[in-house]
A and B are shown apart, each in its own frame.
Chain A
Amino acid sequence: MNMKVKIAGVEFKNPVIAASGTFGFGREYGEFYDVNALGGICTKGLTLRKREGNPPPRIAETASGLLNSVGLQNPGFDGFLSDDVPFLDKLDTVVIVNVAGGTEREYVELTSRVSALSCVDMVELNISCPNVKCGGMAFGVLPKSVEQITSAVKKVCKKPLIVKLSPNVASIADNARAAQGGGADALSLINTLAGMAVDWRKREPVLHNNIGGLSGPAVKPVALKMVCEAYKAVKIPIIGMGGISTPDDAAEFMVAGAAAVQVGSANIFCPSAAIDLVNGLTNLAKSCNIDSIGELTGSLKWH
């Protein structure tokens, strides 16, 4: 039984990838299990310069999920280079660095530097984080700007480029086509859904940033629909995410069109979520007599 998948020329030992923002750079969960057993990890979103992020509270629990407004706190490229690259260098799993920015120039500069590092296997372009005041949301909204930023970054990107799509858009299919048109080698979706939590007794939003991004099981139906639509719209491979925690969840996304999946919020609920998914998905595939996990991808038949 083969669990390997190949996306944009990069081979993954299995289709389970840790999602950006929930996994740091891989150190913390390494205390619970060998992170090299995962198919890959996406690092915390990086910006060119160090960012402090938003004041707390940065999290609010919701029914079957959570809202976050971290605000892209990250060490910046220089901090990443000195503190995290030596650690990533030693990993034996696919390393995907998530890149964010405020302006097109910042995205291009950062991508150029990050993609040159030998420990980086792929770059994931974050044009959809709703917690950044300038740039983050703007680039990911209209198809035209999706194509523009993808194209600008693709020119300087020395590794395969994944474009991470926002669900807070008019047409995910249009945005998927725009990213493909701009030269994306693969897509990942969905990022978080814009949402709010209100403390009515204090008459104020729970999050200091007022608005945050919703993730967890609550968003799975939205994410599945969008993976389906994106799969129909483009030829490039799709990495699916949004509320995945069980092997059945992962299989649903693959059948809907995903070549691999990312696991995010589930790690927050239970530290062994990602490794449990690798083991559980392997066992599920064996018990269903699946020869190669990749055969699930895009096998959905619409009514």
Chain B
Amino acid sequence: MRDVRFKVENIRFLSGSVFELTLLSAQKLPPMRCGQFLHIETPDRSKPLRRPFCLYKFGDRTVTLAAAVVGGGTAALSRVKKGDVLNAVLPLGNGFTLGERHKKAALIGGGLGCAPLLSVPDCYPKTEYRAFLGFADKASVLFEREFAAKCKTVVSTDDGGYGVRGFVTDAFADSLNEFFPDVVLTCGPPAMLKAVAALCAKNKIPAFVSTEERMGCGVGACLVCACALKDGGGVKYARVCADGPVFALEDLAL
């Protein structure tokens, strides 16, 4: 991992509040894996803390993050212009790992949680994928075209305003008789993860989840980004930034 000096290459809004930010490095970037993340400062270091975002898209010298404006830091990032300088530490975290035995994989994402899953098919092209993307309503739907370009993609909305009506996990469960995956990769809100965990346990499918938690240093030294994992009858805390962000879903103390 390195602290890299980036220049903003492009910023593009996907909806009223969600944007893609592409950063360009003068030097070749260190090797990166799907499921890893970067820790980026706010413009002019207006906020003290850096913000973590998954590696949504990445290449030799570019990296793209996808973010929603939820507060002061993301608002500042959403206002950058081409050529602005931003430092970011990357790559961080363990990322997703697939093996030879994973012939079929289901990608199950909720809301912005779909973002860390997008680069998986490019990193592991030998696996066959199906993507299940869930959103609250039509206005919230994101990334459909990006995923559809890589694999068969099913979009669900809770209110049925677009795609399949219902939870993303219902669409996944309904497809099992015709697409039974060797592994599930998932990211999304806690309620969704609980449903994914139950389905995977019931069907004996191993699952891996990309987690997040408020972060400090982002490199594993300060211990604030604690993720509760099962430990016998109790819990132990792992670092999302260094031990994760990817954990076995069954290990999460949800």
Write the residues of chain A forming the contact surface with B, with a CB cutoff of 8 angstroms.
21-24, 27-29, 31-32, 44, 52-62, 64-66, 68, 70, 73, 216-217, 265, 267-272
Contacts and interface: CB of A to CB of B under 8 A. Distances in A.
A216 B3 CA distance: 21
A55 B226 contact: yes
Contacts of B214: 56-60
Interface string B213-240: 1111101111111111000001111000
Contacts of B216: 59, 66, 68, 268
Interface residues of B, number: 31
Contacts of A24: 220-223
A60 B215 CA distance: 9
B47 interface: yes
A53 B48 contact: no
Contact of B221 (A22, A62, A269): A22
Interface in B36-58: 41, 45, 47-50
Contacts of B164: none
Given A24-B223, A52-B235, 13 more contacts: A21-B222, A22-B217, A28-B217, A29-B219, A53-B226, A55-B228, A59-B216, A59-B225, A60-B214, A68-B222, A73-B223, A217-B48, A270-B41
A32 B1 CA distance: 8
Contacts of A66: 48-49, 216
By DSSP majority rule, is chain A's interface helix, strand, loop, or mixed?
loop
A268 B89 contact: no
Given A28-B242, A31-B219, A269 B224 contact: no
A61 B48 contact: yes
B217 A271 contact: yes
B219 A53 contact: no
A276 B95 CA distance: 30
A193 B6 CA distance: 35
Contacts of B48: 61-62, 64-66, 216-217, 265, 269
Contacts of B2: 32
B3 A31 contact: no
B227 A31 contact: no
A52 B239 CA distance: 12
A56 B225 contact: yes
Contact of B219 (A44, A54, A55, A271): A271
B190 to A, nearest CB: 12
A52 B2 CA distance: 29
A59 to B, nearest CB: 4
A29 B222 CA distance: 11
B53 to A, nearest CB: 16
Interface string B80-122: 0000000101000000000000000000000000000000000
Contacts of A271: 3, 89, 217, 219
B49 A56 contact: no
19 contacts: A28-B221, A52-B235, A53-B223, A53-B226, A55-B226, A55-B228, A58-B214, A59-B224, A61-B47, A62-B48, A64-B48, A65-B48, A66-B216, A70-B226, A73-B223, A73-B237, A269-B49, A270-B41, A271-B217
Contacts of A270: 3, 41, 87
B180 to A, nearest CB: 35
A58 to B, nearest CB: 4
A90 B188 CA distance: 42
A189 to B, nearest CB: 20
A58 B228 contact: no
B221 A52 contact: no
Contacts of B225: 56, 58-59
B1 A268 contact: no
A41 B48 CA distance: 23
Contacts of A61: 47-49
